[in-house]
Amino acid sequence: MSVKLNIIFNKVRKNNYFPTKIDIFNIINYLIINNNNTYNICLYITNNKEITKLNNIYKNINRSTNILTFNSKIYYFKKKILFCDIIMSKDKIEEESKIYNIKLYLYWIHIITHGFLHILGYTHKNNIDNYIMKNKELFILKKFKLKK
């Protein structure tokens, strides 16, 4: 198992509430501990305008969202390599953090965890899948003692 992580801030500024690379690595490594795949992950932080454009292009939904995830895979000498793009709207995450009354740092962790669970195949297309995914998110947050 190996993880390469790039974090890109585009059209927004990083603030003190964004998790450290070490915090993000710890959560990702926990989720893939028994996994021999190689992950190339790009966390791309942008604004509502750009994520709305991307949401419209790729999901045919013309509104902002907190996160979009995309992944593809290749095999190299029988080893699976995953390329993962996790695109997040700083504007939307800050807005939702206030609405849900969750500390901004914790909400960033929650959304990053949510996005990586999508990369691993979790969905929330129906009530059962949503329940499973939410419980996994909450388990991770508690595991790392990150309570809302």
pLDDT in tens, 92-125: 999 999 999 999 999 999 999 999 999 989 999 9
Distance CA 105, CA 19 (A): 6
Q: Is residue 62 part of a domain?
A: yes
15-58 residue pLDDT tens: 888 888 888 988 888 888 767 788 899 999 999 999 999 999 99
Residue 22's CATH number? 3.40.390.30
Q: Give the domain range for residue 52.
A: 2-143
Q: Is residue 80 part of a domain?
A: yes
Distances (CA, A) of 28 to 22, 83, 84, 113, 124: 10, 14, 12, 8, 20
Q: Is residue 108 part of a domain?
A: yes
pTM for the model stands at 0.87
CA angle 104, 106, 109 (to 5 degrees): 110
Q: What is the CA radius of gyration of the chain?
A: 15
Q: What is the number of domains present in the chain? A: 1
Q: Is residue 98 part of a domain?
A: yes
Q: Is residue 148 part of a domain?
A: no
- pLDDT at position 79 is 81
Q: Name the one residue in this structure whose structure tokens are 């962790």.
A: 109
Q: Is residue 97 part of a domain?
A: yes
